[in-house]
A = this chain, B = another copy of it.
Amino acid sequence: MNPKDYIKLYKTNLLDKVVPFWLNHSADTENGGYFTCLDRNGDVYDTDKFMWLQCRQVWTFSMLYLRVEQNSAWLEFAKQGADFLIKNGRDENNDWYFSLTKEGKPLTQAYNIFSDCFASMAFAQLSKATGDEIYSKIAVETFEHILARQDNPKGRFSKAFPGTRDLQGFALPMILCNLVLEIEHLLDPALVKKTLDSGVETIMEKFYKPELGVILENVDGDGNFFDSYEGRLVNPGHGLESMWFVMDIAERRNDQRLIQKCTEITLSLLEYGWDKENGGIFYFLDVKSRPPLQLEWDQKLWWVHIEAMIAVLKGYLLTGDERCWNWFKKLHKYTWENFVDDEYGEWYGYLNRKGEVLLPLKGGKWKGCFHVPRGLYQLWKTMEKVESKNLIGLAQK
């Protein structure tokens, strides 16, 4: 396959298989918002509404409207989700609940700051698509709330005894690096710069450990490795996703050194996380090769693979490093053979170690309309640049 073939494949999978799946099956026409618990062919098997996925779906359809085609059905679909969220999504402190009933009644308290991150991202993208101030106001207020809560994100729900082992998690600084670019048009440029500087430094200097060749999920208060279950945990897909976030920042800044470093880390994470026996990237590993706590450690997840493809393709585009192209082809092959469902659209989410479908669902509590459409869009557009940059000589190898 050459870049043109990949472009066609990603574009048609996105527009003919993935977007229609969500448009046709996920609308809650009675209450507003989306059903995300959809089985293989799109039937609803559970009606609870999880805030991460409600927000992410608003974001996806706003993004498609903005960047792919000004299709008013897509914008309406995003807006009906946003309206449901505005009406039902926040508690009395304006923190976002974790889940709601289909009617919009709060089910799970606002313990999870990532609900807020995805809300801010959704409303920022929708404000860009519509120019509507109702949306931009919510995006900015939520963003400010996240910054205020970031040092103690779980608040009263935190189970850690204070002072004994105050580890820092990778997820929040990583997501902030992406979120701040999403909401940039609504923020003071100085705040954008400060957030990016601090995010990039945190990822590259604290969580990336050159001596281990991986990005850790948790480090101690001084940014050092800590030998406990949490401290030893590696989530290769998470690290890979963060690498393309940082590459996007490095590209804006024209920082070739940072691009090079991200590319090397991407290759190192792939080498580390790849299952040499069965193919695919492990979900969790213990950096000291001890038994991980997560029983699902050896499963192969859709988002891990599509985020890895984006990272390594961006690395290829920005460095021309042939190792990236080789990894890209390997990842594409595994992903296309195992996750894609041409019959019903959308992708499977969860495979066992051998690559067999573990759960036939297309959406659930944690899988919604996000990684696949975002990833297909990113791959399509990145591959267009690969093609136009005439990296084709290499790419046809």
Contact = CB atoms under 8 A, between A and B. Distances in A.
Interface of A: 39, 45-46, 48, 97-98, 101, 105-109, 111, 156-157, 159-161, 164-165, 228-229, 288, 290-293, 295-299, 350, 352-353, 358-361, 364-365
Contacts of A160: 107-109
Contact of A39 (B159, B165, B290): B290
Contacts of A228: 46, 48
Contacts of A159: 98, 108-109, 111, 157
A364 B228 CA distance: 12
B164 A105 contact: yes
Given A48-B229, A156-B156, A352-B352, 6 more contacts: A45-B291, A291-B364, A293-B364, A293-B365, A295-B350, A296-B296
A298 B288 CA distance: 27
Binding site of A, secondary structure by majority: helix, strand, loop or mixed? Answer: loop
Query: What are the nearest 9 A-B pairs in CB distance?
Result: A295-B296, A106-B161, A45-B290, A291-B361, A291-B359, A105-B164, A109-B159, A111-B159, A108-B159
8 contacts: A45-B288, A48-B228, A105-B161, A108-B159, A109-B159, A109-B161, A229-B365, A298-B352
A283 to B, nearest CB: 8
A106 B364 contact: no
A5 to B, nearest CB: 33
Contacts of A111: 159
| Copies of this chain, count | 2
B353 A352 contact: yes
Nearest to A109: B159
A102 to B, nearest CB: 10
B358 A298 contact: yes
Nearest to A229: B46
Contacts of A105: 161, 164
Indicate the member of A291, A296, A359 with the most B CB atoms within 10 Å: A291
A109 to B, nearest CB: 5
A298 B292 CA distance: 18
Contacts of A298: 352, 358
Given A295-B295, A298-B358, A299-B295, A290 B46 contact: yes
Given A48-B228, A48-B229, A157-B159, A107 B291 contact: no
A216 to B, nearest CB: 16
Nearest to A91: B161
B353 A165 contact: no
Given A46-B229, A296-B296, A107 B358 contact: no
Nearest to A48: B228
Contacts of A39: 290-291
Which of A105, A290, A350 counts the most B-chain CB atoms under 10 A from its CB? A290
A288 to B, nearest CB: 8
B361 A101 contact: no
Contact of A291 (B109, B290, B360): B360
Contacts of A101: 164-165
A290 B45 CA distance: 7
A107 B229 CA distance: 13
A174 B60 CA distance: 45
